[in-house]
Structure 1
Amino acid sequence: MIERGNPVPSVGIKLVTAAGVEDTTSDAALGQGTVVLFSVPGAFTPTCHVNHLPGFVANAAKLREAGVDRIVCAAANDHHVMKAWAEASNALSDVDFLADGNAALAKALGLDKDFSANGMGTRYARAAAIIRNGVFEAVFVEDAPGVTASGAPAILMALQATA
């Protein structure tokens, strides 16, 4: 699993932003400035849609005040689903979306999780990270269902502790 001090790996992804969809690499998308990356098992899934993403949208201004340049949500969904979720959540002005349809980045980060029992295949574990200039500074992985360690309030506290 990715740890503090590890660089962002270079994996092909699709980045969904307010400007559209772009083919890029994970290191290009996450490698400059201070980035908060949070990963979810799936777009539109109940906890992700109702609890995880909305917390980052609601706290986007506070995260920026704490020095965050970019907030990015990653999921093992295709870019069409990620774009639809971003639009339906009115999140594109605050959050960029990383579409990792084959979970290649999830695997490279060691955040891949088998959700086959639920018919969802390989997905991301629910997690969040603070990345500074392409290097992981802190990683928070949920060890139980729900959003606690990887939610926006926890990330804000971690940012304030390192300020």
Structure 2
Amino acid sequence: MSIQPGDALPEVPLQRIANGGVETVDTRALFGEGRTVLFAVPGAFTPTCSEQHLPGFVQNFQQFRDRGVDVACLSVNDPFVMQAWGESQGVPDGLTMLADGNAEFTRALGLELDASGYGMGTRAKRFAMLIEDGVVRELFVEAPGEYRVSSAEHMLQQLG
């Protein structure tokens, strides 16, 4: 069963590039205070992720910030891939690119996707969630092959 609104996020370490190296940070430190939209993509540099999903959050990043909401992107990739993808997409400072290299967080959420048919192994389903003080308030998981409810535009509508 996957995580649901009202559930606390599981405590799992994730990685990112910070201060010139790999930094491991747990989900409590990342999401324990304040409001954050966390969106996940099946893979960095993949078509829908690179042409629509991440660009939507890049383009609308300031609108989230104006509403006091942080934004983080998650993928089952390594932190170096996430950094390179962020740089190639012009990700602004403050939009956190998170790596879940072994899919531990993704599995703990119950939102894993078997993409082995595409040679990609275990990945995250495409989703977006609003987290407030470490608790999931809203969760939108895409049906396979779709991109609608996890978009930046949809998440902004949920924020009002």
TM-score bracket, shorter-length normalisation: over 0.9
SS at match of 1:35: strand
Correspondences of 1:1-163 after superposition (within 5 Å): 1-16=2-17, 21-68=22-69, 70-160=70-160
Q: Aligned partners of 1:91 and 1:18: how far apart in 2?
A: 17
Q: 1:100 to 1:8 in 2, by over 3 A?
A: same
CA distance in 2, matches of 1:54, 1:134: 26
1:20–1:87 CA distance, 2 compared to 1 (3 A): farther
TM-score, reference length from structure 1 = 0.92
Deviation at 1:19, TM superposition (A): 7.2
Q: How big is the shift at 1:17? A: 5.3
2:74 partner amino acid: A
Bigger drift between 115-124 and 145-154 goes to 145-154
Alpha-carbon separation, structure 2, partners of 1:54 and 1:24: 25
Identity across matched positions, percent: 43
Query: Structure 2: which 5+ runs fail to align?
Result: none
**Deviation, structure 1 residue 21:** 3.8
Q: How big is the shift at 1:95?
A: 1.3
Separation of aligned partners in 1, 2:17 and 2:129: 19
Cα contact 1:47–1:146 (8 A) shared by 2: no
Distance 1:43 1:93, change over 3 A: same
Give the AA of the match of 2:58: V
Equivalences, count: 159
2:111 corresponds to which letter in structure 1? L
Distance 1:102 1:131 in 2: 22
RMSD: 1.5
2:58–2:92 contact (8 Å) kept in structure 1: no
Give, in whole Å, the separation in 2 of the partners of 1:17 and 1:37. 18
- What stretches of structure 1 of length at least 5 have no aligned partner? none
The amino acid across from 2:99 in the alignment is A
CA distance in 1, matches of 2:71, 2:22: 16
Whole-angstrom CA distance in 2 between matches of 1:39 and 1:145: 14
Structure-2 change in CA distance of 1:103 and 1:54 (3 Å): same
